[in-house]
Amino acid sequence: MTPIEDILILSGNRTAIGSFGGSLSGLSPADLGTVAAKAAIGNAGVDATAIDHAVFGHIITTAPQDAYLARHIALNAGLAQSSAAMNVNRLFERSTPCAQLARNHILTNRMSGMAHLASEEKTMEVTV
């Protein structure tokens, strides 16, 4: 196997920032994340089915289906059924751990641990 020397972030987007209980509160975390993921994939100019692993950061699990939030977003954004997805549930600074986990996965072909701090309003940051 050829060693990987450079890892590039082709694109990234985040959801709009709203207030707790505000105009975005009627949308599910998966809906919000899907909008950001589709925009990031579109901006990168890649075919979503070419992405085999996605890492999504979010703040709080608000419903049982959010346990698989990254998977819902990935599939809704057009990634293949065979792709994998990972949630990074952090209260502060979600984008850096997402990028670090994605980098580690690319370099080692395995994922490392993740932290869990959850108690904030419903917004999300997505790293694709």
Give 10-residue mean pLDDT values along the chain (128 residues).
64 78 86 90 91 82 85 95 85 70 68 39 43
- The answer to the question of residue 119 being in a domain is yes
Write down the pLDDT at residue 38.
93
- The answer to the question of residue 114 being in a domain is yes
Query: Element (H or E) spanning 58, and its range?
Result: strand 53-58
User: Would you say the C-alpha torsion 48, 104, 61, 36 has a positive or negative sign?
Assistant: negative
Contact (Cβ atoms closer than 8 angstroms) between residue 39 and residue 33? no
- The answer to the question of residue 5 being in a domain is no
- The answer to the question of residue 23 being in a domain is yes
Write down the pLDDT at residue 87.
84
Task: Identify the domain containing residue 91 by its residue range.
Answer: 13-127
Q: How many domains does the chain have?
A: 1
The CA–CA distances, whole Å, from 50 to 35, 53, 65, 84 equal 18, 9, 25, 12
Residue type, 101: L
Looking at residue 98, which CATH number applies to its domain? 3.40.47.10
Q: pTM above 0.75?
A: no
- The answer to the question of residue 27 being in a domain is yes
Write down the pLDDT at residue 104.
73
Contact (Cβ atoms closer than 8 angstroms) between residue 89 and residue 116? yes
- The answer to the question of residue 1 being in a domain is no
Residue type, 84: A
Write down the pLDDT at residue 123.
43
- The answer to the question of residue 7 being in a domain is no
- The answer to the question of residue 8 being in a domain is no
